[in-house]
Copies of this chain bind each other. A is one copy, B any other.
Amino acid sequence: MSMDLHQMAGQAREAAWTLAAVSCEKRNEALLTMADCLAEDQAAIFAANENDVARAKQEGLAAPLVGRLCFGKEKLRQVTDGLKALAELPDPIGQTTLAREITEGLKLYRVTCPIGVIGVIFESRPDALVQIASLALKSGNAVLLKGGREALETNHALCNSLRRAAKQAGLPENFAQLMESREDVAAMLKEDTLIDLIIPRGSNAFVRYIMDNSRIPVLGHADGICHVYVDQAADLDMAVNIAVDSKAQNVAVCNAMETLLVHREIASAYLPRVAEAMKAADIRLKGDASVQAIIDCEPATEEDWRTEYLDRILSIRVVDSLEQAIEHINRYGSHHTDCIVTADDEAAAQFLTRVDSAGVYRNVSTRFADGFVYGFGAEVGIATGKIHARGPMGPEGLTTYKYKLLGTGQLMAEMKHGDRHYTHRLLNEDCPL
């Protein structure tokens, strides 16, 4: 597929226009056909994956990364289960979210619809390709996909299988197309009349590179600097468990805690206990002066507050008040997911309202920030910006809306002359067209 990127984007646009008019039944049927085709094509997929894995080992790729690259029987079962679950979810498009009579005989409906053509750049995990392509199809969108270089053969085999399934189900196979090179990505950034949205999954620097080089709107999935704030009214047992789970359950993910904030009132009771639990979980601790006065740890600097370790390191700060905790999070955090541990409803309400993050949690681990956990089936990414979508983006995150206005010949001249009047009456009905 050494096709010109402009031509690919044009084909995606055509596919998107066709998909916009395809019923939910047909889209769900295509998702089930995808599960069948992946099973039928498994020999070719596994063989391609073995080549990718062998090459990665030869090139000296680190073992955890090789592990993420592997796509065998168990991964195949997971993705086909995911496709079947996605087919069961309600239709994200064609939903009426506002219905209003404007004047006699004139009705306004706001109806959800696909975004159109979406470019997604993702990491080495090949199962992400199936998740992203299937979420796009469920929501009536076409996608241009760029996976990790290491997974190229596997991604080819998976994408071919999904395209075959779409065609077999009577949908345009060009709903999903694979980009192969960095040059393709650079060329995609210029296609702002054909591509509606870019979702880059990667480092902050990578997301900024995309934003700096394209007019196309970008939904960034960048840093996750997540906090747990242990309030003075916290249950300390719960606060230890939540801190350990948020930090140590998996340190290499964006929803892991990077900084623990502790109210001064309970610091001397809480810090020794959480330090012991963190050390048992093999987590290195860094703290400000107040923390160092209570437990044994390395010093933390302001730079630590801005750092996403993605590693077995935790920074800890003592704060004087809820106010200061909120300020710290809004200033140093990445607006991803932040938690307060407290038994105080008023403190929780203040925290949840004033912390400016996609996920604001009370008494639960930050590790719950995930599209599957939220019941969205899967996710295309976790948006840390505030425009369009926030947090895990499932099928609904890939929709927009249009206003459908159904009249019987109404003219603005009649309104201006006062021959007709605005009624602005809310209606409780779905759009009939």
Residues of chain A whose beta carbon lies under 8 Å from any beta carbon of chain B: 17, 20-21, 100, 102, 106, 108, 113, 115-116, 196-197, 208, 211-212, 215, 217-219, 235, 238, 241-242, 245, 249-250, 330, 345, 348-350, 352-354, 356-365, 367-369, 373-375, 385-388, 390-391, 400-413, 415-416, 422, 424, 433
Residues from chain B with Cβ under 8 Å of A412 in the complex = 245, 249-250, 365, 367-368
Residues in B neighbouring A245, C-beta threshold 8 A: 411-413
Residues of B with C-beta under 8 A to A403: 358-360, 369, 374, 390-391
Q: Beyond the given A352-B433, A358-B402, A362-B405, please list 10 additional residue pairs across the A-B interface where CB-CB is below 8 A.
A: A102-B375, A113-B353, A115-B387, A196-B387, A212-B215, A242-B411, A348-B433, A357-B402, A363-B409, A390-B403
- Cβ–Cβ < 8 Å partners of A409 in chain B: 235, 238, 241-242, 363-364
Residue of B nearest to A372 (CB): B422
Closest B residue by C-beta to A401: B390
Contact B363 A21 (CB under 8 A): no
A113 CA / B368 CA spacing, docked (Å): 21
Taking a contact as CB atoms under 8 Å apart, the answer to whether A116 and B386 are in contact is: yes
Contact of A100 among B102, B197, B375 (CB under 8 A): B375
- B374, A400: Cβ atoms closer than 8 Å: no
Q: How far is the CA of A400 from the CA of B102 in the complex (A)?
A: 26
A413 → B minimal CB distance (Å): 5
Query: Would you give 27 A-B contacts (Cβ < 8 Å), ordered by A?
Result: A17-B354, A20-B354, A21-B350, A102-B373, A106-B364, A108-B375, A113-B353, A116-B386, A196-B387, A217-B387, A349-B433, A359-B402, A360-B404, A361-B404, A363-B406, A364-B406, A364-B407, A364-B410, A365-B410, A365-B411, A365-B412, A369-B403, A373-B415, A375-B422, A390-B400, A390-B401, A390-B403
Instruction: State the CA gap A201–B129 with chains docked (Å).
Output: 38
Q: For residue A354, which residue of chain B has the nearest CB?
A: B21
Q: Which residues of B contact A433 (CB under 8 A)?
A: 345, 348-349, 352-353, 362
Residues of chain B lying within 8 A (CB to CB) of residue A21: 350, 353-354
> In whole angstroms, what is the CA distance A10 to B241 when docked?
37
Residues of chain B with a CB closer than 8 A to A196's CB: 386-387
Which chain B positions have C-beta within 8 A of A407? 361-365, 368
Residues of B contacting A400 in the complex (Cβ-Cβ under 8 angstroms): 386-387, 390
Asked if residues A356 and B17 are in contact (CB atoms below 8 Å), the reply is: yes
Taking a contact as CB atoms under 8 Å apart, the answer to whether B20 and A100 are in contact is: no
In the complex, chain B residues whose CB is within 8 Å of the CB of A212? 215
- Least Cβ distance of A427 to chain B in Å? 11
Residues of B within 8 A of A375 (CB): 100, 102, 108, 422, 424
* Whole-angstrom distance between the Cβ of A399 and the nearest chain B Cβ: 10
How far is B360's CA from A108's CA once the two chains are assembled, in angstroms? 10
Residue of B nearest to A326 (CB): B17
CB closest chain-B residue, reference A237: B409
Q: Which of B197, B215, B411 contacts A208 (CB 8 A)?
A: B215
- Distance to closest chain B CB from A410 (angstroms): 5
- Chain B, residue nearest A115 (CB): B386
